[in-house]
Amino acid sequence: MQTLIWDFDGTLGYRDGGAWTASLLEVLDREWPGHTITYEQLSPYTWEGFPWQRWEIPHTHLTTAEAWWGALAPLLEHAYISVGIETARAQVLVTHFRNVYLNLDRWRSFDDVYPTLDALLTRGWQHVILSNHVPELRNIVQHLGLTPYFSHIFNSAETGYEKPHPRAFEMVLEKLNGYNRNGPVASVGRWMIGDSFRADVQGAESVGLPAILVRRSNPGARYYCEALDEIVSLVDGM
């Protein structure tokens, strides 16, 4: 069956107001009114340390929500301490982070998502999500009304493999009966779509899966669509 494999964050949806740094600041605003810490001060401490930034290492020990968030807690605590917050207060602030980040009212889908998914479904394409995300991705997808569009959701926080690790893509293709340990069985009628050249495009191409870069251009991408509705004519013409 013709299948489009979609990244989520930055491709289909996003957290309004920002993600990691913004959530750190929201916790401070709520739990410590009158603080003087800025977004710019916190931002450098969310540039590294997440599982997908160490994608070469499988994280199969972090495939439950409690394990995943527990492993992230030291990074968040370090961010607060690094901007001058005492350790005891930083530890308390971190306990509030998960709920703030996962506030479903903050999550949005891009305007071109639903029309594009509908148009592709009518043309016989099935949709799958393959995302580096938090354990609660399914809740976010459901809140946005996207669940009915997707036959499968593959989330790194559930599988333990982050894109661009080849295994992240292999697991999807195996489910679709399109991969074995000797390499791709068939890539015809299957595409990866995402906004990250490294994670989505290069990761997919490493296992023989063609990929479409969206929203953020890169000269190394063979296929690029600024808006999702451009994908319809692109894949129809292949």
Q: Which pLDDT tens digit goes with each residue over 119-158?
A: 999 999 999 999 999 999 999 999 999 999 999 999 999 9
pLDDT at 21: 97
Single residue among 58, 75, 105 that ends a domain in this structure: 105
The CATH number covering residue 208 comes to: 3.40.50.1000
The total domain count for the chain is 2
Distance set, CA 106 to CA 15, 61, 136 (Å): 6, 29, 14
pLDDT at 181 over 90: no
pLDDT at 236: 83
Single residue among 105, 124, 158 that ends a domain in this structure: 105
pLDDT at 189: 82
- At residue 46's C-alpha, the angle toward residues 154 and 66, to 5°, is 50
Question: 125 and 147 in contact (C-beta within 8 Å)?
Answer: no
Helix residue ranges, H only, the chain: 20-31, 39-42, 65-82, 87-101, 113-122, 137-143, 156-159, 166-175, 203-205, 230-236
Question: Does residue 65 sit in the same domain as residue 162?
Answer: no
Question: 42 and 21 in contact (C-beta within 8 Å)?
Answer: yes
- Per the listing, tokens 């929500």 go with 65
Range of the domain at 60: 16-105
* Alpha carbon distance 209, 189 (integer Å): 10
pLDDT at 186: 47
Question: Does residue 151 sit in the same domain as residue 180?
Answer: yes
pLDDT at 62 over 60: yes
**pLDDT of 184-217, one tens digit each?**
544 568 999 999 999 999 999 999 999 999 999 9
H or E element: which one contains 180? strand 179-180
Question: What residues form DSSP beta bridges with 47?
Answer: none
